[in-house]
Structure 1
């Protein structure tokens, strides 16, 4: 028997061969063509042009099953969740089905299932500018316009004025988009694992406001909370309610986002049946000793996983995503001189040119660091920012073209 892995990530971020070694099964990896030669240790590797959109991924999976029977299908990335579910259903395999995948991918379906039991902002699926116009007439501004299946705040727009609506009206066709009322306040993320239909690990963190306002090039800062902070238990309880209402898979990593408003309300934003991006997974690993994607992969293949008995972290952790600026990068950090920096992943090199940030996670690089308490974490964040400001240097570029993504 074989395990089919749908994988959009580079080899430096995923270690399926190591994670699934004890299964003793054949590992088949489907990946974008530009990564095809980066996985020589796998039994079969197939590269695909236009990987994210290509139906050949599913067709070749069905054909390959005739020669090498597939027992499990793994998919860790948002773009693979739905088609992995389609393959499972066609082959009669266990794991997340299509109804579950749609509920976790389509934000309108998601909120329609939740809105009677979980506070949600007003929302509307869009087809044309007329639905958008009617929504604004009823609910007012500001609003957020975004893809129904988006991720990482890509193609997400916060609209404050009637003038800012005009490009959407001119576009006319808005199929695949949605609009919802803007919710003021702090955005929290809740990450963890469901194993054997039980919530087994919960991590709570918060963003600065650069997640939605990434065009301001301020840099996204994400820090994890200690369970003793009062908001932690409230956010965990709402997340548990969301997981219970939605058709949640037996085993899954998850990434949930919830607003905390100035008048102390919790308002649901969205949830995904996959591990959070922006190196949140590394923050969780530092704090709890669990690699979410590894645990999720093992659980999905019937392998044993050791998980913490409590949600008390070993340390507090955070990640700062160094923002891109318009222009040419002329000075970059090779490594940080701080022993509390646990991971540094640069994504650009001197000489590369950028138009600025195109999404929240579209960055120069990421820095994960740890501390003993929130006071120390804040102090180290400030020290990190000062060092980055001094050593990451940009020069104007007359004709900027995107690079380093």
Structure 2
């Protein structure tokens, strides 16, 4: 269907959103190196290049200066399959270093029945951090946050412009500029990755994957589903952290058993086991979900969990395995 093509193609999605009068910053398809040079000539550096039909957190790259531009022109358009004929799957957009938010929800009938905005811990599209030691995560906004309403309204306008089908979830990533204006980063017709679904559900929101399955299988009446979802109000706010895997041997892992606010925690590695290089934003050595009654309390809980990860997750040579922290 037409909506599937729009959600799968970032260039097409941007064009439809702009045609509907919803603000979105400049972007273009890259069919070859000259298209990138033309875009830089029109908009300057930095820019951000990413696949137009797959995950930006895997292949996305910031081009910040002429040297980086030259390097990308030399190798960035090479075929992903060696010796294959090149077929471009790239697009480019202006780069935004400011705050990045996401809104997640589900449609019932012709409208979004439930959604909630959250803020990423990492600023802008700092994709380079995903491959290093940066902790990835986000936290739910309170209804009192001044951006709560604008983000909800903007995300629903994007979903309407792209005709989000009934019974489908969405994950919209939205930039907030210094002047407070909003602009679409990208949107997917699926549930958000990381621990987003678990976080929203533990806060008291819907399990988006469960509701998507029930609606698409015809197990629930649309009117009843819409009434139920619209009445759901989280009892608390939650946030999540993914611990970065690292190369070397795991020497120590964090201990969350005594930490207030922990809703869930899982370790994917143990002391003495070999680590690995992070391959994408959702690649993790473990996770923790924190909860609190309001925004300030959640910020404190998230800060405490982050400190526990930074102090307690240690990789290095195999000579000595350290006690838990």
Measured in 1, the distance between the counterparts of 2:144 and 2:217 equals 34
Q: 1:240 aligns with which of 149, 156, 167?
A: 156
Partner residue, 1:307: 228
Measured in 2, the distance between the counterparts of 1:217 and 1:107 equals 28
Partner residue, 2:112: 199
Q: 1:154 aligns with which of 24, 43, 58?
A: 58
Report the number of matched residues. Answer: 300
Q: Which runs of 5+ in 2 are unaligned?
A: 79-86, 319-325
Secondary structure of residue in 2 paired with 1:202: strand
Q: 2:141 aligns with which of 219, 225, 246?
A: 225
Kept in 2, the 8 Å contact 1:184–1:262? The answer is no
Q: Which has the higher strand share?
A: 1
**1:125, CA displacement in angstroms?**
0.9
Measured in 2, the distance between the counterparts of 1:345 and 1:292 equals 21
**1:341, CA displacement in angstroms?**
1.3
Kept in 1, the 8 Å contact 2:27–2:91? The answer is yes
Matches within 5 A, 1:371-382: 371-382=292-303
Partner residue, 1:105: 8
Partner residue, 1:15: none
Partner residue, 2:81: none
Which is bigger in relative contact order (C-alpha 8 A, separation at least 6)?
Answer: 2
Q: 1:178 aligns with which of 91, 94, 97?
A: 91
Match status 1:261 vs 2:177: yes
Partner residue, 1:137: 41
Partner residue, 2:200: 284
**1:391, CA displacement in angstroms?**
2.4
Residues 330-381 of structure 1: CA deviation (Å, up to 9, x unaligned): 2224653335211223223334444543322222111111001122111112
Q: 1:323 aligns with which of 218, 238, 244?
A: 244
Q: Which runs of 5+ in 1 are unaligned?
A: 1-96, 398-405
**CA RMSD after TM alignment:** 2.1
Q: Does the C-alpha gap of structure 1 residues 307 and 152 become closer, same or farther in structure 2, counting only changes over 3 Å?
A: farther
Q: TM-score, normalised by structure 1?
A: 0.69
Q: TM-score, normalised by structure 2?
A: 0.86
